[in-house]
Amino acid sequence: MNKLTIALCDDDNLMLKVVSSTVKSTLLKLNISSEIRMFSSPFQLLSSLETREYDLFILDIEMPKLDGISLGMKLRQAGIDTPIIYLSAMEDRVYDSFETRPFTFIRKSRFIDDIYKVMKRFVDSSESLNLKRLVIRESNNRTVSLELSKVLYIESEIKSQKVYLRDNKEPIHVKCTMNYLEDELTNHGFLRSHRSYLINCKYIQYIEHETVYLTTGDTVPLGRSKSEEFMEKYLNLMT
């Protein structure tokens, strides 16, 4: 990736300049150039989408009239799946942001400390997008290449695993173990919620009791023995 186009939205003009210059200089350290478009109003950003596309949104959460999470919801409702990084001085808002499937959340109090780590993780994930495929054999011995971004979750069977894909009514049956899939996919945002289930965390909408609810309307069980570990790893992905 040679250049990133980023939309940055914050109603504080001083913060806009600080975040913009810091992100730009951080990306240069990672050998990435960037074009950062600054918006002091969420409505200006939404209007720009008529003619522009972005590789990343960086959104302040606390904004009048339309806050960052509501803006993120509008982006998702419009079918825009571009990664979102949220900024906030209120740490408890991280939980509110989960419904928009953010890439991560940065506390403003730790912005300078965390920005390099966050941008490196984003660049690494973006540069490997074309590699985010899993080549594997189906139960009929046909080899398939699965685009990981379309995998919702995987359910274990005795001798094969069922891979549920976005927009596919029926799962794909693959010949391998769940442990193998977990090893292959953990670094791509997949977590084991149950001994029989592996979830793509980008599709998690919310978690309640012993159930994980996905943005597609699907539900996946959260095992009691996995609950604490799963939540800890999921929060680490989001922050």
Delimit the domains of the chain by residue range: 3-127, 131-238
Please report the pLDDT score of residue 131 as a whole number. Answer: 43
Whole-angstrom distance, CA of residue 58 vs CA of residue 72: 10
Please report the pLDDT score of residue 162 as a whole number. Answer: 94
214 contacts 152 by C-beta, under 8 angstroms: yes
Fold of the domain built from segment(s) 131-238: OB fold (Dihydrolipoamide Acetyltransferase, E2P) (2.40.50)
Q: Looking at domain 3-127, which of 3.40.50.2300, 3.40.50.700, 3.40.50.300, 2.60.120.10 is its CATH number? A: 3.40.50.2300
Q: What is the pLDDT of residues 154-177, one digit of tens each?
A: 999 877 899 999 888 899 999 888
Report, as ranges of residue numbers, the positions in the chain whose pLDDT lies below 70. 1-2, 91-95, 126-132, 239
Q: Which residue has the tokens 């250049």?
A: 3
Residue 12 corresponds to which tokens in the numbers above?
């504080």
3-state SS, the chain, equals CCEEEEEEECCCHHHHHHHHHHHHHHHHHCCCEEEEEEECCHHHHHHHCCCCCCCEEEEECCCCCCCHHHHHHHHHHCCCCCCEEEEECCHHHHCHHHHHCCCEEEEHHHHHHHHHHHHHHHHHHHHCHHHCEEEEEECCCCEEEEEHHHEEEEEECCCCEEEEECCCCCCEEECCCHHHHHHHHHHHCEEEEECCEEEEHHHEEEEECCEEEECCCCEEECCHHHHHHHHHHHHHHHC
Whole-angstrom distance, CA of residue 92 vs CA of residue 99: 14
Residue 147 corresponds to which tokens in the numbers above?
């685009």
Please report the pLDDT score of residue 53 as a whole number. Answer: 85
Please report the pLDDT score of residue 184 as a whole number. Answer: 86
Find, among 207, 195, 197, 198, the residue nearest to 238 by Cα: 207
Q: Which residue has the tokens 């919620």?
A: 193
For the chain, the distance separating the N- and C-terminal CA atoms, rounded to the nearest angstrom, is: 24
Residue 133's beta-bridge partner residues? 147
Please report the pLDDT score of residue 127 as a whole number. Answer: 53
Please report the pLDDT score of residue 16 as a whole number. Answer: 95
Find, among 173, 169, 233, 225, the residue nearest to 204 by Cα: 233
The CA distances from residue 222 to 142, 154, 178, in Å, are 32, 13, 16
Please report the pLDDT score of residue 142 as a whole number. Answer: 80
Please report the pLDDT score of residue 130 as a whole number. Answer: 44
Q: Report, in angstroms and rounded to the nearest whole number, the Rg of the chain calculated over CA atoms.
A: 19
Whole-angstrom distance, CA of residue 129 vs CA of residue 134: 12
Please report the pLDDT score of residue 135 as a whole number. Answer: 78
